[in-house]
Structure 1
Amino acid sequence: MVPRIIFGRGSFNQLGDILAPKRLSINAPFIYLVDDVFKSNAFITSRIALSYDDKIIYVSSEEEPKTSQVDNLVEEIILMTKERPSGIIGIGGGTMLDLAKAVAIMLTNEGEAKDYQGWDLVKNPAIYHVGIPTISGTGAEVSRTTVLTGPDKKLGINSDYTPFDQVVLDPELTKNVPKDQWFYTGMDCYIHCIESLNGTYLNAFSQSYGEMALELCKEVFLGEKLSIKESQDKLMMASWHGGMSIVYSQVGVAHAMSYGLSYLLGTKHGIGNCIVFDHLEEFYPEGVALFKAMKEKHDIQLPKGICANLSDQELDVMISISLSLEPLWENALGKNWKKVMTPKKLKELYKKM
C-alpha cells in the first residue's frame, strides 16, 4: 500500500514541505515529470518550488507510455544530474504517474524497462517517488503496477517496489479536464469496480473498496444534486478506492482486450476500455447496462468501426497480446478460462468494435 497520502483541496501547496525532508543533498535534485499540457498553465507550474538543481521535464501524454520512453527519460536524468536524484515526482494523468513509477524503478535497477514487464521481477527498491494525479479514474496513484507498451507486449511492471511512497490527492487539480476525457477516465474506475466485484479473485478486502468506489461512481455519473466540487472530490476518492480494489484482486475482460487495442492501434487506455466494455453484456450484463445509461446521460459518442479494416494478421496480434494476460482472464472467467475465451471468440468480439 502507499504509505503516505495527503488529501484535500489546495493540498498541492504543501508539496514543498512534503519533499524537503527527503532531499538527500544539494546535488541530488528532485525531478518533476509533468504532462506537457501544463507547460503554460501557471495554476500548476507556478506552484512547483524548484531548489538547487531541481528540474521539470515536460512529457507528452498523447500516446500510451512505452518502455523505450522510460529508458530515454532515465538516460536524460542520469546525464543531467550530478548524483542520483532525491526523488521523482509525477504530475498528470495515468500516463505520467506510470512513467514516474517506472523511472524511479529503473534508476536503481540495471537493464531496460522491458526486462521488468511482468510480476515481481524488480530486484532493488525504487528511489523515492511521489504521485500527484490531475485527473481521476485510472487508479495509477495507488496501484502496484506501471503499465507500459514494450517491443513485444503491453504489460505492467508489477512489484512491491512500484507503488508511490507519497501521493497528493488535490481535487482542485482536476478542474480543467475536458468532458470526454473526464468520462473516459472516470469509466476506467467504474470498469475497475465491475471487473473486480465480478471476478474469481474477489475477497472481502477488495470487495469493500470496490463497492465503495462503485457507489461513488454512481453518484458522480448518474446523480443529480452534486456540485462540481463535490463531483471532483468524490471521483478522486472513487479512483483511489477502485485502484485499491484491483490491487487486492484483478481486472478482467475489458482491460485484457483494451491492452490489445492499445498495443496495435495506440488507443488510449480510458477510451479503449469504454469501446470494449460497450460490447461485454455476455460477461457483465448489469455493469454494461449501467455504463450505457451513464454514456447516454452525458451524451458520449464512442468511436465505431476501429477494427473494421484490420487484416487477420493484425487481429491475431491483438488476440495474442490480450490472451497473454492470463491473470486477468482467470479472474474474469476462472481457471478454465481458455475453454471459454478461444482465439476465435475473441476475434468475433474485436470485429464488433
Structure 2
Amino acid sequence: MNYKNFPMVPRVIFGRGSFNQLNEIIAPMRLNMNAPFIYLIDDVFKSDSWLTSRISLSYDDRIIYISTEEEPKTIQVDNLVEEIILSVKERPSGIIGIGGGSILDLAKAVSIMLTNEGETHSYQGWDLVKNPALYHVGIPTISGTGAEVSRTTVLTGPKKKLGINSDYTPFDQVILDPELTKNVPKDQWFFTGMDCFIHSVESLQGSYLNAFSKSYGDMAYNLCKEVFLENTLSITEAQDKLMMASWHGGMSIAYSQVGVAHAMSYGLSYVLGTKHGIGNCIVFDFLEEFYPEGVRLFKIMKEKHNIELPQGICAHLSEEDLDTMVSISWAMEPLWENALGNNWKKKISPKQLRTMYLKM
C-alpha cells in the first residue's frame, strides 16, 4: 500500500493576545523593502481599530479588505492576483489572511496563484499545483472551518465547486488567538462551529478512518460537545476550546475525508450560494439515515442555542438547477466513498439525492 505523505502547518502559535506578535513573526520573512506583505482581511474589520491598529505596515505593505457575503470564487482569486501584481514593484514577501474560512481559503489560493501560471479554476482538484506557494500566514477570527490547518481551499469555479488540494496549500504559519473570535455573531458562531462538529462526525464514521484521523476526530468531537452542550464553561474557555476543536477537526480529515453533508452542501452552495457552515447544517439536519447519533446531538445543540434553519430552500428550484445541484454533489467521489464505501454508487443514486434535496 502506498501511504500519503501529507504536509502539516510547520509553525503555529496559540494563546490569547498572540496576534500582537504578528509583526515580529513575519519580519524575518521580508525579502526586501520592495517586496511587501499583502494582508487580506475580512471587511467586517474595516472599522475595527481594536484589530487593525495592531497591524504595522512597512514600506509598500498593503491591506485589501474583502467582503465575505459570497463564498470564495476562482475568478475572485484571479482578480486579486492581478490587482496585487499590478500594484507591487516585486513579488510580495507573503500573503497574510485574517478572517474566517473564506478569507483563509482566499489567502491560500492567492499565495499559490502568485507562483503558478494560468487561471485558478485549472487548479481545482488534487495535486495539480506545480510550484511552491508564496509564504502565507493564516489568522482565523472565527473557529470551526479547519481552513487554518487543511491542505485545501474551497472555491466555486465556472463549472464546479472544488478546492485546490495540494501539498503547497497549507499555511507556513498560523496564529491561533481565541480573543479574535470575541465579536462573532451567535448564528455564525453556531454554523461555523457545527462545520467542525460535522467534520468530526463524517471522519469518525468514514471508511477512510484510521488511528491518525480518529485521534484528532475524537478530540474535535468531544470539544464540540463541551462547547455546545455543557453549561459549565466560561466564555473564554469556550473560545479556547472551540479554536482547538477547529484545529483538530481540520486535522481529522487531513488523512481521511468528510462525507455526505459536505458533498451535498457543495451542491447547495454552487446553485444557491448558500454559505458553507449553514449549508452543512441544512443538509445534516436530514441525515439521520447516515449519521443517527451525530444528527441526534446536532438537533439538541440546535434547540439549546435557539437556532432556526431556513426551510424549503430547494422547493421552488427549476429542474435544471436541481440537476446541477445533484451533479455537483455526485462528482464528490472521495467524499461519497468515505461515507459509504467503495461500492457507494450501489447505495445511493442521483434520483435519491434529488429526493433528499427536495426535503430541504
Q: Tell whether the structures are fold-level matches, with TM greater than 0.5.
A: yes
Is 1:39 the counterpart of 2:46? The answer is: yes
Question: 1:6 & 1:249 partners in 2: Cα distance?
Answer: 25
Give 1:65's match in structure 2, choosing from 72, 86, 97. Answer: 72
Match of 1:225 in 2: 232
Match of 1:94 in 2: 101
Match of 1:235 in 2: 242
Question: 2:126 & 2:345 partners in 1: Cα distance?
Answer: 21
Question: 1:63 & 1:254 partners in 2: Cα distance?
Answer: 20
Match of 1:10 in 2: 17
Q: Please report the TM-score for the alignment, with normalisation by the length of structure 2.
A: 0.98
Question: 1:336 & 1:229 partners in 2: Cα distance?
Answer: 45
Match of 2:198 in 1: 191
Instruction: State the AA in 2 paired with 1:138.
Output: T
Is 1:50 the counterpart of 2:57? The answer is: yes
Question: 1:214 & 1:227 partners in 2: Cα distance?
Answer: 19
DSSP 3-state at the match of 2:183: coil
Q: CA deviation at 1:264?
A: 0.2
Q: CA deviation at 1:78?
A: 0.1
Question: 1:224 & 1:20 partners in 2: Cα distance?
Answer: 42
Q: Percent identity?
A: 80
1:313-324 matched pairs, under 5 angstroms? 313-324=320-331
Is 1:257 the counterpart of 2:257? The answer is: no
Q: CA deviation at 1:230?
A: 0.2
Question: 1:340 & 1:77 partners in 2: Cα distance?
Answer: 47
Instruction: State the AA in 1 paired with 2:47.
Output: S
Match of 2:147 in 1: 140
Instruction: State the AA in 1 paired with 2:192.
Output: T
Q: CA deviation at 1:224?
A: 1.0
Question: 1:202 & 1:142 partners in 2: Cα distance?
Answer: 19
Question: 1:270 & 1:341 partners in 2: Cα distance?
Answer: 24
Deviation by residue 1:203-236 (Cα, 9 ceiling, x = unmatched): 1001000000101000000011100000000000
Deviation by residue 1:223-275 (Cα, 9 ceiling, x = unmatched): 11100000000000000000000111100000000000000000000000000
Match of 2:5 in 1: none
Is 1:155 the counterpart of 2:162? The answer is: yes
Question: 2:50 & 2:275 partners in 1: Cα distance?
Answer: 26
Instruction: State the AA in 1 paired with 2:72.
Output: P
Instruction: State the AA in 1 paired with 2:140.
Output: P
Question: 1:248 & 1:168 partners in 2: Cα distance?
Answer: 22
Give 1:85's match in structure 2, choosing from 67, 81, 92. Answer: 92
Give 1:299's match in structure 2, choosing from 292, 298, 306. Answer: 306
User: Considering only aligned residues, what root-mean-square deviation do their CA atoms show, in Å?
Assistant: 0.4
Question: 1:71 & 1:323 partners in 2: Cα distance?
Answer: 27
Question: 2:56 & 2:214 partners in 1: Cα distance?
Answer: 40
Q: CA deviation at 1:339?
A: 1.2
DSSP 3-state at the match of 1:47: coil
Aligned residue pair count: 353
Structure 2: stretches of 5+ with no match in the other structure: 1-7
DSSP 3-state at the match of 1:63: coil
Question: 2:24 & 2:330 partners in 1: Cα distance?
Answer: 45
Instruction: State the AA in 2 paired with 1:123.
Output: K
Structure 1: stretches of 5+ with no match in the other structure: none
Question: 2:342 & 2:234 partners in 1: Cα distance?
Answer: 44
Instruction: State the AA in 2 paired with 1:97.
Output: L
Q: CA deviation at 1:40?
A: 0.1
Instruction: State the AA in 1 paired with 2:345.
Output: K
Question: 2:223 & 2:52 partners in 1: Cα distance?
Answer: 30
Q: CA deviation at 1:11?
A: 0.1
Match of 2:334 in 1: 327
DSSP 3-state at the match of 1:332: helix
Match of 2:3 in 1: none
Q: Structure 1 segments of 4 or more deviating over 3 A?
A: none
Match of 2:319 in 1: 312
Question: 2:115 & 2:194 partners in 1: Cα distance?
Answer: 34
Instruction: State the AA in 1 paired with 2:277.
Output: G
Match of 1:210 in 2: 217
Instruction: State the AA in 2 paired with 1:333.
Output: L
Is 1:270 the counterpart of 2:274? The answer is: no
Match of 2:35 in 1: 28
Question: 1:95 & 1:11 partners in 2: Cα distance?
Answer: 22
Q: CA deviation at 1:311?
A: 1.6
Instruction: State the AA in 1 paired with 2:112.
Output: I
Deviation by residue 1:87-126 (Cα, 9 ceiling, x = unmatched): 0000000000000000000000000000000000000000
Q: CA deviation at 1:43?
A: 1.2
Question: 1:45 & 1:322 partners in 2: Cα distance?
Answer: 39
DSSP 3-state at the match of 2:162: strand
Question: 2:189 & 2:160 partners in 1: Cα distance?
Answer: 27
Match of 1:170 in 2: 177
Instruction: State the AA in 2 paired with 1:210.
Output: G
